[in-house]
């Protein structure tokens, strides 16, 4: 136990962060968390501690606070950082672009400065398939051009990636793994940690889940006239525990000193809005009402990954299917109808 490598997870109290903690502990790492609880609660950390059977060292601080962040590196022998702390609401990013650039981009710069000063140059970054913009071909592999993001949130992820590429070009001691997530959904199988959006969910899966549990009346399906099999948008939904495993594989890969690598984390399988809805109805044995509405601005018709590279180079592959995603998501939502405050 004592010679476990320490992994700092920024944003580690968030939805994906707590699931990563489970995976990292299982893989033999010691997680520590920096989070300012902007979009999370300490209850999430308590819940994950119950799953892993140990306490997680937690620093309640803002990644923009350079001094406080530097202290975390002085107090711990950190092997690698998994950088998840970010703001992620697409609509809000259009209303508050400066806030998004500040937290996501300046936050990354400050973190990397602190890391360089502490001589910790191993970094795994949460990026997003949104950096590919409107797909030019499917499935999307890592060679697909990036750019053309339709909102500031997406641009922050692209800028974060570019900053990392420039830093790596200037100093080859860095090892950086950029993980481009497709659409993470679901929960740990215990149903004790999960996605707990504040206010009205922006994303499809938590919205469906809240309709099923009775918090919302019906789902609005944003467009049924796309060039897809049933006319609704197609995405590559990936179980959050598979995604979390991708981080453990990335941290392991870092020990090989890989330089800078970029990997898609997706299943390679696309599902439409209505297919996800049906899968969720099957998992919940409930009828989930919906109405078709106009398209949402900035949405693409279809996007799914070619995830082969992550398998070839990190030995990672998504194992769970759409039914597991829906069953696990429902276990969390039905046990915790109001999230962590239930
Ligand atoms: P989340 O909001 O649940 O987690 C982000 C965490 O960062 C939160 O706990 C929040 O409190 C924390 N945070 C925000 N600003 C901070 C700051 N200034 N200092 C310290 N902590 C701060 O989101 P998530 O879904 O878990 O996403 C994690 C990462 O994955 C983010 O970088 C997000 O952009 C990226 N991502 C998410 C998705 C998705 O669909 N959920 C898809 C692609 C990429
Ligand atoms: C999926 C599909 C919608 C809600 C966004 C961000 C991306 C990433 C993940 C990361 C689309 C449809 C949705 C609803 C609907 N964020 N939909 N009714 O758009 O692929 O990606 O989240 O941090 O950057 O852009 O995911 O879940 O919002 O939408 O019909 O109430 O569901 O039109 O086809 P998306 P999503």
Q: What is the pLDDT of residues 202-233, one digit of tens each?
A: 999 999 999 999 999 999 999 999 999 999 99
Distance (angstroms) between ligand 1 centre and the Cα of 194 equals: 13
Query: pLDDT grade, residue 1 (50/70/90)?
Result: low
Question: What DSSP string describes 67-80?
Answer: HHHHHHHHHS-EEE
Please give the C-alpha separations between residue 85 and each of 13, 33, 108, 159, in angstroms, as whole numbers: 9, 10, 9, 15
Distance (angstroms) between ligand 1 centre and the Cα of 33 equals: 13
Q: What is the pLDDT of residues 233-290, one digit of tens each?
A: 999 999 999 999 999 999 999 999 999 999 999 999 999 999 999 999 999 999 999 9
Helices 15-26 and 42-52: angle between axes, nearest 10 degrees: 20
Residue 319, number of CB atoms within 10 A of its CB: 11
User: Which numbered atom of ligand 2 lies nearest the CA of 300?
Assistant: 34
Protein residue with its CA nearest to atom 22 in ligand 2: 203
| Mean pLDDT of all residues in 134-139 | 98
Quick check: 242 and 318 in contact, CB under 8 A?
A: yes
Instruction: Report the chain's mean pLDDT, rounded to a whole number.
Output: 97
Q: What is the pLDDT of residues 44-64, one digit of tens each?
A: 999 999 999 999 999 999 999
Distance (angstroms) between ligand 1 centre and the Cα of 167 equals: 22
5 pLDDT more than 70: yes
Q: What is the pLDDT of residues 282-341, one digit of tens each?
A: 999 999 999 999 999 999 999 999 999 999 999 999 999 999 999 999 999 999 999 998
Query: pLDDT grade, residue 150 (50/70/90)?
Result: confident
Q: Which of 101, 153, 181, 237 is catalytic?
A: 153
> Cα 83–32–35 angle (5° rounding)?
55
Closest ligand to C-alpha of residue 274 is: 2
The gap from C-alpha 32 to its chain's centroid, in whole angstroms, comes to: 18
Q: What percent of the chain has pLDDT over 90?
A: 98
Distance (angstroms) between ligand 2 centre and the Cα of 19 equals: 20
Q: Please tell me if the CB atom of residue 54 comes closer than 6 angstroms to any atom of ligand 2.
A: no
pLDDT at site 2: 65
Query: pLDDT grade, residue 98 (50/70/90)?
Result: very high
Buried b (16+ CB within 10 A) or exposed e, 249-262: bbbbbbeeeeebbb
Does the pTM surpass 0.85? The reply is yes
Query: pLDDT grade, residue 144 (50/70/90)?
Result: very high
Protein residue with its CA nearest to atom 13 in ligand 2: 204
Q: Is residue 8 within a helix (H) or strand (E), and if so which, with residue range? A: strand 6-10
- For the question of residue 29 being annotated catalytic, the response is no
Burial category of 65 from C-beta neighbours within 10 Å (exposed 0-12, middle 13-18, buried 19 and up):
middle
Q: CA–CA separation, 255 vs 263, rounded Å?
A: 16
Cis? peptide before 139, omega within 30° of 0 = yes
pLDDT at site 61: 98
């Amino acid at each position: 136990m004592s010679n476990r490598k320490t992994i700092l997870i920024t944003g580690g109290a968030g939805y994906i962060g707590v699931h990563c903690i489970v995976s990292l502990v299982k893989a033999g790492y010691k997680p520590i968390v920096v989070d300012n609880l902007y979009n999370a609660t300490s209850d999430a950390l308590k819940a994950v501690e119950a799953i892993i059977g140990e306490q997680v060292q937690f620093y309640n601080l803002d990644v923009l606070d350079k001094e406080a962040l530097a202290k975390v590196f002085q107090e711990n022998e950190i092997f690698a950082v998994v950088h998840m702390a970010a703001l992620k609401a697409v609509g809000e990013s259009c209303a508050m672009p400066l806030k998004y650039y500040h937290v996501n981009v300046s936050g990354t710069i400050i973190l990397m400065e602190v890391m360089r000063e502490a001589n910790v140059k191993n970094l795994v970054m949460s990026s997003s398939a949104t950096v590919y913009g409107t797909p030019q071909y499917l499935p999307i592999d890592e060679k697909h051009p990036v750019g053309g993001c339709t909102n500031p949130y997406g641009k922050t992820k692209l800028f974060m990636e570019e900053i990392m590429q420039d830093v790596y070009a200037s100093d080859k001691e860095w090892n950086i793994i950029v993980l481009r997530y497709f659409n993470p959904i679901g929960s740990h199988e215990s149903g004790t940690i999960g996605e707990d959006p504040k206010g009205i969910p922006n994303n499809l899966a938590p919205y469906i889940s809240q309709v099923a549990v009775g918090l919302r009346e019906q789902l609005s399906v944003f467009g049924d006239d796309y060039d897809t099999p049933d006319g609704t948008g197609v995405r590559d939904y990936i179980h959050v525990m598979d995604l979390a495993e991708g981080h453990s594989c990335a941290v392991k890969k870092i020990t090989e000193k890989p330089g800078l690598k970029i990997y898609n984390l997706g299943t390679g399988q696309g599902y439409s809005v209505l297919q996800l809805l049906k899968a969720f109805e099957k998992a919940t044995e409930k009828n989930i009402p919906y109405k078709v509405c106009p398209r949402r601005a900035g949405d693409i018709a279809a996007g799914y990954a070619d995830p082969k590279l992550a398998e070839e180079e990190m030995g990672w592959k998504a194992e769970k299917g759409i039914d597991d995603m829906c069953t696990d998501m429902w276990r969390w939502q039905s046990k915790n109808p109001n999230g962590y405050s239930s």
